[in-house]
Structure 1
């Protein structure tokens, strides 16, 4: 049985306690780590928890459940996958944060793993995935931790909501069946969707903006019938470096409250090229907010009509 042990490390300009908190709060991982699509808690205690993770590895979307032990005093988080996805037979490791000074920390990311049937090709696949994801995660963690100490206003969230006189399942079905959006939504020019395994969707879409231009995006979506669909865009328009969000469907006394939530990080380097040399971050925020809101409300409006016609 071949068990591989590897480690990666990086130094960041942020206090060790801040870094530990960001890693401990898994709800924020889709915003912090590029490979992570969505994370939720299965069980949560004071120091031990079980989490479900959906993430990409070597360009493939995977999901698994891990146990974590959180040790705030020693700035250490140990993790181990409960049921791994082939070619991984077993995987675990630890995050260790080491204070360098009051405003600088060193982060260590440790992994140990083995391949199904000790297959050499499987082990090579895992080696590549762990190395790529670890480097990506650490670099992104440094960027996001250090961004918190930089300009404000670059990251923002908002939500659009409509009331539907219909069933939650029908509203959910409309949003879930994104493969039919080109025929159902005027702002969608074309769409390709794959779902493997069930509940984990890969969505590639061309959408029309208000000015008539067409933008190509790629997203991964995690579905929870019939109350939530979480997503992360991985091919982004020029003004964004990050876009995550979720659709929620909440039954009320007489119908459904359907919402679309967005979290965005602006690509400030592209603001002059897209909006002009004198454009501000505030103007870029308003531009992106308006574009996303317009499409979300249009989609929710069509979902509302679809569900109410079936009541």
Structure 2
């Protein structure tokens, strides 16, 4: 009988937060890209009170992988079990659990367990998967702790907002303008250089050099997941100095009159150590929040204005 080597790992961290808050953060996969560094995009395929199917895109061992998992939710027991339906090679099987254990007033231990097998049962592949699981688990638990313990109000480093505009053009043309970012250096005045690589399965790798409102240059790199004529979601992997995290989404709808309604959504985490370096020695966290709201929103709205003109010319 063929023997299959199964490895197990366990990682844990102590977090100053309630078990209810931590459970909710782990259960709501739609917000994972804004919390966990490896996560690029996550969505529900089926959703119930105790069982669900989710689709995830994430960076694993330097590559963008995507898979579908089934999850069993135990809100009372503060436990979520997961199992990939069709693992991405070199994995032959992958599953595990999130377990939340209160250890004091507003303090919990979060355990992240994994079990996995490798294609062909190769020891080298098992070691490679183990290293990737270890790195991702450590990053995810540290990020969960930072997010759960972050401040509120004026001390909140987390910023999310959206802008919605109506454009006089067909949805297909508006979507194509955003999707075909390889042309942005010729079409957008704030973009000076661009590189777009198709990574397959709707995934794009986008690198850009852009100018801020004061003319300062900066380089960014993003992973984008494209659902044709519905939405494009992205996560920046190379960030401007003022942000520790930045995710975004473009969503497209027809309004019934031949025009297109586009919503641009941004979520960012402010890099507090860079505030005075970027904005001046008297700058504060609220000032950084206002600056990012204006700067990110202005760039997106400028892009949409050009997308609208592009689409209107093709009606």
Equivalent-residue separation in structure 1 for 2:141 and 2:217 (angstroms):
34
Could you report, residue by residue, the CA deviation over 1:42-94 in whole angstroms, capped at 9, with x for unpaired residues? 00011100000000012211100000000011110000001111111110000
How do 1:35-54 residues align onto structure 2 when only pairs under 5 Å count? Answer: 35-54=38-57
Cα displacement (A) at 1:153: 3.7
Q: Which of residues 223, 227, 230 is equivalent to 2:226?
A: 223
**Number of the residue aligned with 1:301:** 305
Could you report, residue by residue, the CA deviation over 1:199-252 in whole angstroms, capped at 9, with x for unpaired residues? 011111111111111111111111111010011112111111111110011110
**Number of the residue aligned with 1:212:** 215
CA contact 1:168–1:227 (8 Å) conserved in 2? no
Equivalent-residue separation in structure 2 for 1:160 and 1:72 (angstroms):
34
Change (3 A) 1:283 1:170: same
User: Please, which moves more after superposition, 35-44 or 160-169?
Assistant: 160-169
1:76 lines up with 2:79 in the alignment: yes
**Number of the residue aligned with 1:139:** 142
Could you report, residue by residue, the CA deviation over 1:144-187 in whole angstroms, capped at 9, with x for unpaired residues? 11115686442122222221122111111110111111121111
- Structure 1's unaligned 5+ residue stretches are none
**Number of the residue aligned with 1:14:** 17
Equivalent-residue separation in structure 1 for 2:143 and 2:161 (angstroms):
23
How do 1:180-219 residues align onto structure 2 when only pairs under 5 Å count? Answer: 180-219=183-222
1:260 lines up with 2:264 in the alignment: yes
**Number of the residue aligned with 2:286:** 282
Change (3 A) 1:151 1:211: closer
Cα displacement (A) at 1:198: 2.7
User: Please, which moves more after superposition, 272-281 or 93-102?
Assistant: 272-281
1:2 lines up with 2:12 in the alignment: no
Q: TM-score, normalised by structure 1?
A: 0.97
1:273 lines up with 2:277 in the alignment: yes
RMSD: 1.3
Q: TM-score, normalised by structure 2?
A: 0.96
Cα displacement (A) at 1:20: 1.0
Equivalent-residue separation in structure 2 for 1:10 and 1:284 (angstroms):
30
Secondary structure (helix, strand or coil) at the match of 2:200 reads: coil
**How many residues in Structure 1 have an aligned counterpart in Structure 2?**
311
